[in-house]
């Protein structure tokens, strides 16, 4: 069975984006970029993969991406940001997506359960915080890039009612850039 993996950048104070949905405060240069991009080329937007010469890099961990509406419609975003993955957007309002982006309008938990039963690589929960809170019972692992910055306010890692859920740390990598990359698996 495939896993649902919440792979996301977060600030020291627990936010995945500023209140307006931007994430300019994150560290985009440094040794963590090389290390993480080499291990997770599948999580780079298609246009960045091409710019970095990784367009032919195989998907190592994920073949499917699941995004909330705000993550999909991030300012300056692309209509098909992860064309190298099977793309799903959870929204009741998004329209006009390209053919390779499927919109899930209802029974999100049921659709995710069905996706987990399919053969293939894991499913990347790309964001956002509300979707992560709603799907917390189905999240099998967290891959968290902790950036050495605070936003003060913004979109929380889990935005909404989420019950206590215990995970165990299975890996930790510290980079000179100040970014920590932590892996947690559900207990």
- 174 occurs within a structural domain: no
- Model confidence, pTM: 0.95
- 96 occurs within a structural domain: yes
Residue 114 phi/psi, 5-degree rounding, is -65, -40
Residue 154: band (very low, low, confident or very high) from pLDDT cuts 50, 70, 90: very high
Tell me the CATH number at 25: 3.40.430.10
What integer pLDDT is reported at residue 75 of this predicted model? 61
Which domain range does residue 73 map to? 4-123+133-155
- 162 occurs within a structural domain: no
For residue range 121-133, what is the model confidence (pLDDT) as tens digits? 999 999 889 999 9
Q: Considering the chain, what is the average pLDDT of its residues?
A: 94
| Residues 85 and 64: beta-carbon distance below 8 Å | yes
Percent of the chain scored above 70 by pLDDT?
99
| Residues 79 and 66: beta-carbon distance below 8 Å | no
Torsion of CA 177, 180, 140, 150, to 10 degrees: -90
- 86 occurs within a structural domain: yes
Rounded-to-integer distance, Cα 111 and Cα 180, Å: 32
| Number of structural domains the chain divides into | 1
């Amino acid at each position: 069975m495939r896993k649902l993996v919440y792979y996301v950048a977060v600030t020291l104070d627990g936010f995945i984006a500023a209140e307006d949905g931007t994430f300019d405060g994150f560290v985009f240069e440094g040794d963590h970029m090389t290390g993480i991009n080499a291990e997770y080329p599948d999580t780079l937007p298609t246009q960045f993969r091409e710019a970095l010469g990784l367009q032919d890099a195989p998907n190592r961990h994920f073949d499917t991406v699941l995004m909330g509406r705000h993550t999909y419609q991030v300012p300056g975003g692309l209509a098909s940001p992860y064309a190298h993955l099977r793309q799903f957007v959870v929204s009741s309002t998004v329209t006009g997506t390209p053919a390779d982006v499927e919109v899930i309008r209802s029974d999100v938990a049921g659709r995710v359960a069905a996706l987990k039963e399919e053969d293939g690589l894991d499913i990347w929960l790309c964001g956002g915080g509300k979707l992560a809170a709603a799907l917390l019972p189905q999240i099998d692992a967290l891959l968290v890039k902790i950036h050495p910055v605070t936003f003060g306010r913004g979109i929380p890692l889990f935005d909404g009612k989420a019950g206590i859920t215990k995970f165990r740390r299975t890996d930790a990598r510290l980079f000179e850039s100040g970014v920590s990359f932590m892996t947690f698996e559900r207990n």
